[in-house]
Chains A and B, each alone.
Chain A
Amino acid sequence: MILDVSALRKSFGHLEVLKGVDLKVRPRELVFIIGPSGSGKSTLLRCCNRLEEPTSGSIRVEGIDLMAPGVDINAVRRRIGMVFQSFNLYPHLDALGNVTLALRKVLKKSKAEAEHTGLHALARVGLAEKAQAYPNELSGGQQQRVAIARALALEPAILMFDEPTSALDPELVGSVLNVMRELRESGMTMVVVSHEMRFARSAADRVIFMDQGLVLEEGPPEKLFNQPEHPRIREFIASIEH
């Protein structure tokens, strides 16, 4: 088990956003999380590397308990790649600089070594020739692919995507999904929060439907999309796919 979340709860003040969520992700699995906005999908992802501090529950990444006192959170975080809706590239660094920063500062690689790894990661997302471009010189789709390369370069055990295509113009979505598809084929373990239902149908091993801070149902995409047990899910999918 790469990621093992159990009984996870998270409150913001009086608002309980996660009400006891379990999530298990096996190696090489692509798990898709869908659900209406406010259902706690993003919070779940953000708790998995403690960008949000969980209120209670347990999170294990490659067997390491993230909630244990004295855990080296920075060491665990670099095993969990994270891709954000708004890319969050560093605007003062070029694409290669974005990808190599953690290699140099966290993994303490030499400049040459970091750049070698960084260029390889950029090549995997098809942007080796944009290594010297600054984020403001790249399209949204390219920026998101650089962000994926930034996460990939650290050779994470799992990659988490928080609505990776929601901020993109429709014609740029495909390039990012293609990269994700290739990652899946290369055996990367991934958790994806997204509304790209067609991608979920074709690429996901498992789909999880969250509603109001709970997992309402989970299963293979054919099952969840075509014969969900809960009418709530059917409604949601109909509303997304028009």
Chain B
Amino acid sequence: MSRFADTFLNWTVMAQYAPKILEGAWVTIQIAVAVVIAGIASGLALAVLRAFRFRMASALIVLAVDVLRALPPLVIIILFYFALPAVGIQMSAWVATWLALSLVLMAFSEEIFWAGILSVPKGQWEAARSTGLDFFQTLRDVVLPQAVRLTIPPLTNRTIAITKNTALGAVVAVGEILYQAQSAYSFSYNPSPLLLGAVAYLILFIPVVYFGRWVETRFAWKR
């Protein structure tokens, strides 16, 4: 039992590396927030663009979204970080991770927003257009407020799932929680920092999960 405690709950090791984990937590928060903002904003923008039904633009959006949804996020990160320099595009590990996850969130949120836009009944468009609102006004003031409301529960779930993937940044040496925990482990030959890292993730993401649940009940649609 004491060997177990020594291995996994070694307070000395934990205390030694806690500042590093904390540093990692800060990086994780930064990437996660940047991913959520960029991913959801660009996903919404694409869904709005798709609503105009320009054939070429829509086809490109569908293609991009399908590709991004099919690729594992880790593959995209590695491609950005290791493969793009070969064609002269350099980016930091931080940017590669942020960009890859933002694109993935963009793809999923575009699909969710688009489904939301489609689920608003045709009569809403007709009522608004019949009062003289133009296409864009109708989309912005009548359709999107309803669509966004419908999309909040699935979007929240998807956003949580994708932001957790910030841990993949460890592979390209972004100094986020997992990377810090792993390097602490290899320096100390003691897995306690890994446990500490896991706890850090829990502290960060459990509130987000609760927030997601609250949002789901708060925005439950009543007609």
Interface size on A, residues (CB 8 A): 26
Interface string of A201-217 (1 = CB under 8 A from B): 00000000000000000
Interface string of A59-98 (1 = CB under 8 A from B): 0000000000000001101101110101011111000000
A49 at the interface (CB under 8 A from B): yes
User: Nearest chain A CB to B213's CB is how many angstroms away?
Assistant: 23
Contact A78 B132 (CB under 8 A): yes
B3 at the interface (CB under 8 A from A): no
Shortest Cβ distance from B144 into A: residue: A92
| Residues of B in contact with A (beta carbons under 8 Å apart) | 121, 123-124, 126-134, 137, 141-142, 145-146, 149, 222-223
Question: In the complex where A92-B145, A105-B137, A105-B141 touch, is A49 in contact with B127 (Cβ < 8 A)?
Answer: no
A102 at the interface (CB under 8 A from B): yes
Cα distance, A178 to B223, chains bound together (Å): 26
| Residues of A in contact with B (beta carbons under 8 Å apart) | 49, 51, 74-75, 77-78, 80-82, 84, 86, 88-92, 101-102, 105-106, 135-136, 147, 150-151, 154
**B129's contact among A77, A101, A135, by CB below 8 Å, is which?**
A77
Contact A88 B127 (CB under 8 A): yes
- Chain A residues lying within 8 Å of B141, measured Cβ to Cβ, are 101, 105
Contact B223 A49 (CB under 8 A): no
Question: In the complex where A90-B142, A92-B145, A136-B222 touch, is A101 in contact with B131 (Cβ < 8 A)?
Answer: yes
Contact A77 B146 (CB under 8 A): no
Contact B127 A90 (CB under 8 A): yes
Question: In the complex where A101-B141, A136-B223 touch, is A78 in contact with B131 (Cβ < 8 A)?
Answer: yes
- Chain B residues lying within 8 Å of A102, measured Cβ to Cβ, are 128, 131-133
Cα distance, A110 to B131, chains bound together (Å): 17
Query: Which of A91, A150, A151, A154 is the most central at the interface, judged by chain B CB atoms within 10 Å of its CB?
Result: A91
- Chain B residues lying within 8 Å of A78, measured Cβ to Cβ, are 131-132
Shortest Cβ distance from B137 into A: residue: A105
- Chain B residues lying within 8 Å of A135, measured Cβ to Cβ, are 223
Cα distance, A130 to B54, chains bound together (Å): 41
- Chain A residues lying within 8 Å of B137, measured Cβ to Cβ, are 105-106
- Chain B residues lying within 8 Å of A49, measured Cβ to Cβ, are 130
Cα distance, A49 to B131, chains bound together (Å): 10
- Chain A residues lying within 8 Å of B145, measured Cβ to Cβ, are 92
Cα distance, A160 to B11, chains bound together (Å): 78
- Chain A residues lying within 8 Å of B133, measured Cβ to Cβ, are 74, 101-102, 105-106
Cα distance, A75 to B129, chains bound together (Å): 11
User: Nearest chain A CB to B125's CB is how many angstroms away?
Assistant: 9
Contact B223 A106 (CB under 8 A): no
Contact B130 A77 (CB under 8 A): yes
User: Nearest chain B CB to A232's CB is how many angstroms away?
Assistant: 31
